[in-house]
Structure 1
Amino acid sequence: MNTTIWKLQNEIKNYDWGSKTAITELFDIANPTQKPQAEIWMGTHPNGCSVAINSSNERTNLDSLIQSDPLFMLGERTYQQFHGLPYLFKVLAAAKPLSIQVHPQQHKAKLGFERENQAGIALNDPKRNYKDPNHKPELVYALTPYKAMNAFRPIEDIIAGFEKLNCPALSDFVQELKRHPGAEQLKVFFQTLLTLPKETRQKAIAQLLISIEKKDDEVTSLIKSMVLDYPDDIGLFMPLILNVIELKPGQAMYLGAETPHAYVQGTGMEIMANSDNVLRAGLTPKYIDVTELIDNTRFHSIPLANLLTKPQINQNKIDFPVPVSDFKFEIINSDEQKRTEPVNSPEILFCLAGQVTVETATDSFTIKPGESLFIAFGAKEYRYQGVGQLARAFN
């Protein structure tokens, strides 16, 4: 009988915004080199593919394993639509802000990827925008208090925020937005900020920092914390333009295409389409292609109250619905009762707490915090038991 369940060995990414302690504290994963541990990647993305280990301790690259029998591993539905594992599952531990970014819609990602290939821009070129032809919707689930920026604030809030500052270098642009408070002028305002001449930008940032010196609200505190790493970055104005939100542990938020966002601080699970396409808008030393960014941004305000994903509770499971077919995300609260779960797609289970035994018809593994399993579609079902909590990725 074909094996249907494997333990995963996953790559840890040492990006410089990562925390040196969070992953060790939560999951007891050692950090002997004391480098930042920013992300754990679970999946088949070529930039960090997991290794699958069977019960005989034989190891196979997860992508090779899936491609060896894609219908058995993925199921007909997932195979026909995606031809591979459609999602990338991560633990993300941010000690300082990530770049402000936008992800393209599917059709624009496909066109952009083909266009850059034809232009002969290497995949590892810093000026490359599209690393693959896929969109990158995301859901983040907070494991600790998790601060982020997501989506444009209502325009009247943006205007009010700037008017509280003494920032003459930008006052003409703010007045123009006040005269025409709609999506088109918000686009002009955003583009103007990102393309300010160096001298004007430096003057605006200096005025911003002087005017917030004695203030201590959520937005100004965030700007002050960002100055340490990005003293000359136009992204310092983004907390005035984007919603600032702090998720409590157990809350989740969806981040759709064409919506500017940035993770600021905290540890969470993140699930996304299997893509690495990022268009940056600030808080970064990396390349910013303003034309491409503006073309892939929807200038649409979302009130803060609408950002959280409303969970659906189904007995011992908490489901966080998303509007895409690439992935689904669920929290499973397990206890001593043995429960059976049907399998309709390839799944990854990541243990958040306790100790849970998961078995299919072929094999059984017991996992503790920080450990994960891959379950093939061909398993049809699995059983789990033990006091603990699992994060479940499927589609």
Structure 2
Amino acid sequence: MTKILHLNCGVQQYAWGKGAAESAVARMKGKCSENGKFAELWVGTHVNCPSHTMDGELLSAFLQKSANGDRFFAPQQQQIPRFHNRVPFLLKLLSIETALSIQAHPNKTLAERLHAENPTKYRDPNHKPELIIAITPFEALCCFRSVEEINRLLRTVPSLVLLLGHALEAQQVSDSTRDKIERIMRAIYAIDPQQHARALLDHTEELRRKGDAIGVEDRLFLRLVSQYPSDMGCWMVYILNYVQLKPGEGLFLADSEPHAYLFGDGVEIMASSDNVVRAGLTPKWKDVPTLLKMLRYNTDGLARAKHSRKLAGDGEEWEVQLYAPPVEFPDFSIYRIQRVSSGKSKTSVVLPTIGLGFCVEGACVVNDEPVTMGGCFAVPYGEVRVEAVGECQLFVASMNLPCNHSAKL
């Protein structure tokens, strides 16, 4: 049996993260008594926050060595030079207190162009499909609502309708769904910032006068405007779907789908990229023209995004679930392996290439190596055996290739 490689992984402290006492990221790193916001734990070889071996060597440098590359990567991938030192996916743990930006991620062609034109803002040439799995109740805005629902909700916001009048009135029955939604989005982002600020204030005051007699979207609007006053991204609660995930539920987001994570803790797996095109709910640099041009503007995105888990293994003692995007996205898949009873027992999964993982609850033994809560590791391709005495939960990510679809109990 091939041994795992224990990793020392970095943390990102962003303003939207949770305080140490509440953050799953801080608990994983044993930093619950420290100050600051703990937002993300990164496991991978991306240059913005690369993982290291316990000896202090970069994981990418470790994998560059021929013997290590041969041990961790599947034989068919040993012929691909870029896999010898770069893991093609990035595993994260997120702890979110306040909303992340309204954003989308470029496809591969656009990512290459953005990186070539503006490498300081778009730091790599890769696309960034991603999948989030809730480990606590998790909230997000995701993909466009139906045109009918958008129109209905917008007409409950008189201060915005006044500014969007022409865009709403110009809709024709013969217009495509894409045209209707794109026209509304472009009209919102074309409004003068001072007019936006006034409209946001007017709507906020109106909702507060109504007290409890307001809808779910209105309550969310008040939350966001308290976090990001005068930010036009607050209007997106009436444009994008509001999604609430229970632990274990997931969302897959392909390129060019608008979204914003709002609150909660989750495990995120993505192609190895840090490219983000932002357009609101952030003090960071925004690239509104690029975002408006790249969006899909369809209304079936949520149906694709709501990720159906495949039960890869089940029994009285273990629950093994596989989350994988459509086959046209080979970049990643991820197992959630959960021990649901006491008493010593084992389970296993099979990986097509190198895997990255961490334990978010309890303790276990992976390929005969102990892993406690917060432990991060890389594991060679092939069978991964997990043993535990009590309850535990760990995630193991790899690529989305056919042999990912088996588990032994």
Q: Tell me, yes or no, if the aligned pair for 1:338 and 1:383 is still in contact at 8 Å.
A: yes
The 5-angstrom pairing of residues 132-281 of structure 1 reads: 132-167=124-159, 168-177=162-171, 180=175, 182-213=177-208, 214=210, 215-281=213-279
1:51 matched to which residue of 2? 52
Q: Could you say if the C-alpha distance between residues 352 and 186 of structure 1 is closer, same or farther in structure 2, counting changes exceeding 3 Å?
A: same
* C-alpha contact (below 8 Å) 2:320/2:337 kept by paired residues: yes
Q: Distance in 2 between matches of 1:222 and 1:321?
A: 30
| Aligned residue in 1 for 2:338 | 333
Tell me, what secondary structure is at the counterpart of 1:157? helix
Report the AA paired with residue 100 of structure 2. Answer: L
Identify the match of residue 100 of structure 1 among 99, 102, 114: 102
Mapped to 2, the partners of 1:226 and 1:347 lie a distance apart of: 37
SS in 2 for 1:207: helix
How far does residue 345 in structure 1 lie from its aligned partner after superposition?
0.7
Shift of 1:81: 8.6
Q: Which residue identity does 1:201 align to in structure 2?
A: H
Alignment root-mean-square deviation, CA: 2.2
Residue 210 of structure 1 and its aligned partner are, at CA, apart by 3.1
Question: Over residues 31-58 of structure 1, what are the superposed CA-to-partner deviations in whole Å (9 max), with x where a residue is unaligned?
Answer: 34310000000111111011122xxxx3
Please say which of residues 76-85 and 102-111 is displaced more in the overlay: 76-85
Q: Is the 1:358–1:366 contact (alpha carbons within 8 Å) kept by the matching residues of 2?
A: yes
Distance 2:247 2:233 in 1: 27
| Rounded Cα–Cα distance in structure 2 between residues aligned with 1:295 and 1:281 | 12
Displacement of 1:304 in angstroms is 4.9
Structure 1 window deviating more from structure 2 (102-111 vs 206-215): it is 206-215
The amino acid of 1:368's aligned partner reads T
* In 2: Cα distance, 1:235 partner to 1:105 partner: 23
Amino acid at match of 1:104: P
| Unaligned residue ranges in structure 2 (runs of 5+) | 314-318, 400-409
Q: Which moved more, 1:165-174 or 1:343-352?
A: 165-174
Distance 1:171 1:313, change over 3 A: same
Corresponding position of 2:59: 62
Distance 1:245 1:292 in 2: 25
Q: Given the superposition, is the C-alpha separation of residues 102 and 303 from structure 1 closer, same or farther in structure 2, using an over 3 Å criterion? A: closer
Corresponding residue number in structure 1 for 2:316: none
8 Å CA contact 1:162–1:174 kept in 2: the answer is no
Structure 1 distance, partners of 2:142, 2:194, is: 28
State how far apart, in whole Å, the 2-side matches of 1:207 and 1:29 are: 45
Using the TM superposition, name which of 283-292 and 79-88 deviates more.
79-88
* TM-score normalized by the length of structure 2: 0.85
The structural deviation recorded for 1:301 is: 1.0
Aligned: 1:111 with 2:105: no
Separation (CA, whole Å) in 2 of partners of 1:212 and 1:81: 58
Are 1:7 and 1:365, in contact at CA under 8 Å, matched by a contact in 2?
no
Offset of residue 186 of structure 1: 1.6
2:25–2:39 contact (8 Å) kept in structure 1: no
Q: What residue ranges of structure 1 are gaps of 5+ in the alignment?
A: none
- CA gap of 1:24–1:391, structure 2 versus 1, over 3 A, is closer
Hey, what's the Cα distance between the residues in 1 that align with 2:128 and 2:3?
Answer: 28
Partner SS, residue 144 of structure 1: coil
Contact 1:88 1:272 in 2 (8 A): yes
Q: Tell me which amino acid in the other structure corresponds to 1:39.
A: E
How far 1:26 sits from its partner (Å)?
5.5
